[in-house]
Amino acid sequence: MQELTGGEAVAHTLRALGVEHVFGIVSVHNIPIYDAINRMGGITAVAVRHEQGAVHAADGYARATGRLGVAITSTGPGAANAMGGLFEAGFSSSRVLMITGQVESRYYGKGKGFLHEAENQVPMLRAVTRRVESVRLTRDIPAAITRVAADVMTGRPQPGAIEIPVDFQYAKADFDIPHIEGWPRVAPDKAGLAAAAGMLSAARRPVIWAGGGVLTAGAESELQQLAELLGAPVVTSLNGRGAIPEDHPLALGPLTAHPAVEAVIAGADVVLAVGTRFQGGATRNWALKMPGQLIHLDAGPEVIGRNYTPALSVVGDARPGLAGILKLVTGSAVEAGFAERASAARDEAHAAIRGDIGPDYAAIMDAMREALPRNGLVVRDPTVPAYLWGNRIFPIYEPRTSLYPSSAAIGPALPLAIGASIGTGRPAVVIQGDGGFMLNIAELATAVQYRVPVVVCVFNDRGYGVLRSIQARTFEGRQTGVDLATPDFAALAKAMGLPGETVSGVDEFRVAIGRAMAAGGPYLLDIDMDVLKPMAGFGRR
């Protein structure tokens, strides 16, 4: 037991949880927490420019490191600003904890109109998290934080939140700070593992479908060993990219909705799905047929069978699950030539996509990959280049290096990249559209302040390109709200303290991306899409 302020108890508990960075904005309702973090050391507080950016940065940090990502916000408007970030973290099954303040306990729930009063903050947060706690006694702070963190870190990750009245943050009490050595894994049933191993050992055309749960569990090695033992091609979800290097002969990438790769899945007699819930985009909104026998292994029992009915359900974390199957597989009965046909289908899909995006974007993609280290981070926003090539054929080689907003919300890419780069110390390339970029453009100042090595590639078509194309196809060419007044991004970057260049053409991009990567800090490239050969179906008008 030791006497501490509530703010100090928060800082001690976060250190016990292994937290090294927090992202947020200081306010009158969280000052004691920030002061304690500053005085005590061991945790770096990263000052972002918007609370949504704080949660996105914590999300990117969590995805890239596998550790708990923490955001600290004010009560009321600050917490409300963070809702979009929590929504995305939940959609992507990310390990995010948000700590927010609350008005003094004597005013809480009175409806008196106190500054930042938010009587319904808990139900608001509960709408986008799995667990929320509201501290009612100062001495309960460490236990409450630990309970929420345990929920975030155990099983299928989901964000969690806790509110702490500001008077409790100032108050002193005797605290027991928990000692935390790790989190339990969801252990799979041995009988289920044996049944799965038997089905896979007898499979003639096995396919493995790897989702983000493989990366969450750190099961990449087990996945690759099992694939090689069986001779099984591996497809991934967007969140699962990097579970197997995409230059591995058995890697088919995230191309499950492409006809050539879909045919491979259609021809499988056994599909082992690990750590995935089969989101709509990967399955053409579940129009993709899942033939043969489906084995579904996931830490979240609630997602098994939600979209496809499995022949065998195994509830458990991916790492012990795959390790257990690997030990029990007796051999491979794979059909001669099956893996080779699958790799040919992948190559066919890649060639078709490269044809669709045209020579200019293919060359830009290749130059970007060449400039980025093999373990560099690739962060995409929902924009035309991401949809058509960044999400599909831009090569991903290592785990936790590919980040994308699974909710398809525009705007998160820059703060996701900032959090991921701070957490790993590695450079990041951001593929961003000009429309989405404007939503979190203030975080350029965060990147400058902390000299984060993020290269922001703004693909600029002066509007919302995806929606422009949909409207053109759907409403007899009528377009509404898709053309935007766009700033000079290169000049704006310079005004905010980072180098910026306007890029007109492939040759300029190739030189500029090398210069940007060598800078060692934030850099912006404003890429004029009007001078590039258009991608199929996505001309300027």
The CATH number covering residue 443 comes to: 3.40.50.970
Q: Which of 335, 354, 371 is the last residue of a domain?
A: 335
One domain, residues 100 and 30: yes
> What are the CA-CA distances from residue 50 to residues 330, 446, 496 (Å)?
54, 10, 16
Number of domains forming the structure of the chain: 3
Domain boundary residue, one of 175, 209, 244: 175
- Note down pLDDT in tens along the chain; length 541 residues: 789 999 999 999 999 999 999 999 999 999 999 999 999 999 999 999 999 999 999 999 999 999 999 999 999 999 999 999 999 999 999 999 999 999 888 878 877 777 788 789 999 999 999 999 999 999 999 999 999 999 999 999 999 999 999 999 999 999 989 988 888 899 999 999 999 999 999 999 999 999 999 999 999 999 999 999 999 999 999 999 999 999 999 999 999 999 999 999 999 999 999 999 999 889 999 989 888 899 999 999 999 999 999 999 999 999 999 999 999 999 899 999 999 999 999 999 999 999 999 999 999 999 999 999 999 999 999 999 999 999 999 999 999 999 999 998 999 999 999 999 999 999 999 999 999 999 999 999 999 999 999 999 999 999 998 888 888 888 888 889 998 899 999 999 999 999 999 999 999 999 999 999 999 999 999 999 999 999 886 654 3
Q: Are residues 8 and 147 in the same domain?
A: yes
184, part of any domain: no
- Provide the pairing of β-strand 172-175 with 2-5: antiparallel
Give pTM, 2 decimals: 0.96
Q: Is residue 97 part of a domain?
A: yes
| Interior angle at CA 449, CA 115 and CA 40, nearest 5 | 65
* Range(s) of the domain holding residue 53: 2-175
CA-CA distances (angstroms) from residue 370 to 58, 356, 508, 511?
28, 21, 15, 12
499 and 401 fall within a common domain: yes
Same-domain check for residues 106 and 208: no
Asked whether residue 402 falls in the same domain as residue 328, the answer is no
Same domain for 396 and 271, yes or no, is no
Residues composing the chain: 541
Q: Which of 122, 151, 175 is the last residue of a domain?
A: 175
Domain for residue 182, yes or no?
no
Question: Is position 19 within any domain?
Answer: yes
Q: Within a 10 A sphere around the Cβ of 247, how many other Cβ atoms?
A: 10
Q: Quick one: 207 and 348 in the same domain?
A: no
Which two structure tokens, joined as six digits, stand for 418? 């900032």
Amino acid identity at 379: V
User: Residue 436: inside a domain, yes or no?
Assistant: yes
Count of beta carbons in the 10 Å neighbourhood of residue 375:
14
